[in-house]
A and B are shown apart, each in its own frame.
Chain A
Amino acid sequence: MTGPISADLALLVPELILVSVALALILAARRIQGSQIAVAATVLAALAAVLVSGFSLSSGPSTAFGGMLTRDSYSQFFKILIAASLALAALLSVRTVDGRQVPRGEYHALLLLASTGMMLAASTLDLLTLYLSLELMTLCAYILVGITVESPASNEAAIKYLLLGSFASALLLFGISLTYGFAGTTDFAAIASAFSGRGPGGQPLLLVAVGLVMAGLAFKIAAVPFHTWAPDAYQGASAPVAAFLAAGFKAAGLAALGRVCLIAFGSEAEILSLLLAGLAALSIVVGSVVALSQTDMKRMLAYSSIAHAGYALLGLCAGTPQGVQATMTYAFFYVFMTIGTFGVVIALGPRGETLQGYHGLAAQRPWTAALMMLFLLALTGIPPTSGFAAKFVVILRAVSAGFVPLAVLAVACSVVSAFLYLRVVVLMYMKEPKEPEPSRFPVAISAALVVSALVTVIGGLLPGSLTPWVKAP
């Protein structure tokens, strides 16, 4: 409690912006007619957070609140990414929120508060703050998944997500308490020195602690075998919420995982590598293969997001700063391509939610079909898109860390998923339209699609454009 509080608060400016706008929206909730004002406020707050984080992107690391939070280029990178996914998700929600009688103020306030939790998760240096920030994020998510009250599927999804999520939180908390029992502290750096001070030798309970923390975090990014909530939650939630879950949540979970693996549990790198390699292999295989049999677009994209969590983990398997940087690159490009794909699904309305709806889209809407093809190529990882650049770096890191079979598996599953994604392209271009032409898209949705497409194209053409900002903690 010493030192000027203003210096501490200066590190939290992006979060403070989001929280104050969220509180204002909650206060004004009953007086907001139409979603325009709420969307505008959310997008402006997110852009302000992007700008503020961007200004301090290359400043040196500094800590606040007794070393619990930090501001380094790692945290700022993820804050920009999270704020960007918040802005895109808010833009994509225009029609859903107006059409399905979702409470507008509350919906956007929850988006803002969830993003605040994610940002804190990216900048925390302490297991307890990490737990709190992840809880803030998931508690908002439970409500967001169930916010379309009149839809039974949405309610069911929210309940399932809540039950499994509470269980995962309990695992994480138990892992944290065991870690505290060993290290006597919850501070990342102090845990690392306490762990490495114990010297080599099997410590079964220590392994349990590490394993439980990893399980709790793997749940947040929906890595197999902690993925069971994702397909139901994505399918039951409205599509913009699913997009936000797939993009922002994954980014925040990976940010937390990266810091925990590299700093707190850095001395257990060998076990961590094996754990992460197992998670990655399972996620890639299960995600790619099970997605093949899905006919619901949101459910298919949920399995695709599970597979992508696996690819992102490939970088972390290496256990090196370069590996974490590869995961950061992956997370960045993945957020934009997945939001883009969900964006097309949202833009097409109810038609976009099943595979059937994509029959002959290219004849009716050539530009929309072209955008969808771009995002699907990116998700597959085909060269002129950012998806290739992203997959290339993580697989490269896995190979250089000696995980050659894992890398081969990842490439093989990319081929499997190519069938999955290109099937939609085939439906769009080679089939006769079955449904009437979709209505015009709202400007906000088009804007979000264009931004995602730009990042996906530029990331593919100039894969090195991110490198100056990608710095491991």
Chain B
Amino acid sequence: MSEYVGILVSFVMAGGVAAAMVLLASTLGKKNPTSVKLSPFECGVEPFSLPMGRLAIKFYLTAILFILFDVEMVFLYPLAVIYRTLGTLGLTEMAIFLGVLMVGYVYAWDNGALEWK
């Protein structure tokens, strides 16, 4: 277990530094509040809003399709790195993998998932 102590220490330090900054800022800092300053702010996005906006479901479909190619890339990069070591065997395996993945792609295409409607 001793090798995990380092991780624990880093967690404690990270927490400590963050807490110290918040504490110091709130105790030592000069306060000159206005209503704009007091409102919560996060990168220009309204932090609180009622869940009114509805998102078209086709965006989710696109996101899922994106994963298809994303996963493909995850495996293609390591293959490219050790391509010479693996040789034909690796190439065949990758071809089979891509083939299975393409079945999913063809299925999505077949069912009109690529049409923006």
Interface residues of A, Cβ cutoff 8 Å to B: 1, 5, 23, 26-27, 29-30
Known contacts A5-B92, A27-B110, A29-B107; 11 further A-B pairs (Cβ under 8 A): A1-B90, A5-B89, A5-B93, A23-B100, A23-B103, A26-B104, A27-B103, A27-B107, A29-B111, A30-B110, A30-B111
Taken together as a complex, chains A and B put the C-alpha atoms of A26 and B107 apart, in Å, by 7
Chain A residues, CB < 8 A from B106: 27
Which residue of chain A lies nearest to B110 when distances are taken between CB atoms in the complex? A30
B103 with A1: CB separation less than 8 A: no
* B68 interface hit (Cβ, 8 Å): no
Taken together as a complex, chains A and B put the C-alpha atoms of A161 and B114 apart, in Å, by 30
Chain A residues, CB < 8 A from B104: 26
Taken together as a complex, chains A and B put the C-alpha atoms of A30 and B106 apart, in Å, by 11
* B91 interface hit (Cβ, 8 Å): no
* B73 interface hit (Cβ, 8 Å): no
Please, could you name 6 A-B residue pairs with CB atoms under 8 Å apart, sorted by A? A1-B86, A26-B103, A26-B104, A27-B107, A29-B107, A29-B111
Minimum C-beta distance from B87 to chain A (A): 10
Chain A residues, CB < 8 A from B111: 29-30
Most buried by A among B89, B106, B107: B107
Chain A residues, CB < 8 A from B110: 27, 29-30
Chain B residues, CB < 8 A from A30: 110-111
Chain A residues, CB < 8 A from B89: 1, 5
Chain A residues, CB < 8 A from B93: 5
Taken together as a complex, chains A and B put the C-alpha atoms of A26 and B104 apart, in Å, by 8
Chain B residues, CB < 8 A from A29: 107, 110-111
* Interface set, chain B 65-109, CB cutoff 8 A to A: 86, 89-90, 92-93, 100, 103-104, 106-107
Interface residues of B, Cβ cutoff 8 Å to A: 86, 89-90, 92-93, 100, 103-104, 106-107, 110-111
Taken together as a complex, chains A and B put the C-alpha atoms of A23 and B100 apart, in Å, by 8
Minimum C-beta distance from A136 to chain B (A): 13
Minimum C-beta distance from B107 to chain A (A): 5
Taken together as a complex, chains A and B put the C-alpha atoms of A5 and B90 apart, in Å, by 11
Which residue of chain A lies nearest to B106 when distances are taken between CB atoms in the complex? A27
Which residue of chain A lies nearest to B82 when distances are taken between CB atoms in the complex? A1
Taken together as a complex, chains A and B put the C-alpha atoms of A415 and B106 apart, in Å, by 55
Taken together as a complex, chains A and B put the C-alpha atoms of A29 and B107 apart, in Å, by 8
Chain B residues, CB < 8 A from A23: 100, 103
Minimum C-beta distance from A21 to chain B (A): 12
Taken together as a complex, chains A and B put the C-alpha atoms of A1 and B92 apart, in Å, by 13
Chain A residues, CB < 8 A from B107: 26-27, 29
Minimum C-beta distance from B57 to chain A (A): 13
Which residue of chain A lies nearest to B90 when distances are taken between CB atoms in the complex? A1
Taken together as a complex, chains A and B put the C-alpha atoms of A30 and B90 apart, in Å, by 33
Taken together as a complex, chains A and B put the C-alpha atoms of A5 and B86 apart, in Å, by 12
Closest 5 CB pairs of A and B: A23-B103, A30-B110, A26-B107, A26-B103, A27-B103
Which residue of chain A lies nearest to B112 when distances are taken between CB atoms in the complex? A30
Chain A residues, CB < 8 A from B103: 23, 26-27
Taken together as a complex, chains A and B put the C-alpha atoms of A26 and B93 apart, in Å, by 21
Chain B residues, CB < 8 A from A5: 89, 92-93
Which residue of chain A lies nearest to B100 when distances are taken between CB atoms in the complex? A23
Minimum C-beta distance from B66 to chain A (A): 19
Minimum C-beta distance from A387 to chain B (A): 41
Which residue of chain B lies nearest to A105 when distances are taken between CB atoms in the complex? B107
Chain A residues, CB < 8 A from B100: 23
Minimum C-beta distance from B73 to chain A (A): 20
Minimum C-beta distance from A390 to chain B (A): 39
Chain A residues, CB < 8 A from B92: 5
Taken together as a complex, chains A and B put the C-alpha atoms of A29 and B112 apart, in Å, by 13
Taken together as a complex, chains A and B put the C-alpha atoms of A39 and B107 apart, in Å, by 19
Which residue of chain B lies nearest to A23 when distances are taken between CB atoms in the complex? B103
Taken together as a complex, chains A and B put the C-alpha atoms of A5 and B110 apart, in Å, by 33
Taken together as a complex, chains A and B put the C-alpha atoms of A5 and B93 apart, in Å, by 10
Which residue of chain A lies nearest to B107 when distances are taken between CB atoms in the complex? A26
Which residue of chain A lies nearest to B85 when distances are taken between CB atoms in the complex? A1
Chain A residues, CB < 8 A from B86: 1
Minimum C-beta distance from A120 to chain B (A): 15
Taken together as a complex, chains A and B put the C-alpha atoms of A403 and B90 apart, in Å, by 52
Taken together as a complex, chains A and B put the C-alpha atoms of A29 and B103 apart, in Å, by 11
Taken together as a complex, chains A and B put the C-alpha atoms of A346 and B106 apart, in Å, by 34
Minimum C-beta distance from B102 to chain A (A): 10
Minimum C-beta distance from B97 to chain A (A): 12
Taken together as a complex, chains A and B put the C-alpha atoms of A30 and B104 apart, in Å, by 13
Chain B residues, CB < 8 A from A26: 103-104, 107
Minimum C-beta distance from B83 to chain A (A): 13
Chain A residues, CB < 8 A from B90: 1
Which residue of chain A lies nearest to B86 when distances are taken between CB atoms in the complex? A1
Which residue of chain A lies nearest to B92 when distances are taken between CB atoms in the complex? A5
Minimum C-beta distance from B43 to chain A (A): 31
Which residue of chain A lies nearest to B104 when distances are taken between CB atoms in the complex? A26
Which residue of chain A lies nearest to B111 when distances are taken between CB atoms in the complex? A30
Taken together as a complex, chains A and B put the C-alpha atoms of A5 and B88 apart, in Å, by 12
Which residue of chain A lies nearest to B89 when distances are taken between CB atoms in the complex? A5
Taken together as a complex, chains A and B put the C-alpha atoms of A1 and B88 apart, in Å, by 12
Which residue of chain A lies nearest to B103 when distances are taken between CB atoms in the complex? A23
Taken together as a complex, chains A and B put the C-alpha atoms of A438 and B94 apart, in Å, by 53
Taken together as a complex, chains A and B put the C-alpha atoms of A339 and B24 apart, in Å, by 68
Taken together as a complex, chains A and B put the C-alpha atoms of A26 and B100 apart, in Å, by 11
Minimum C-beta distance from A254 to chain B (A): 29
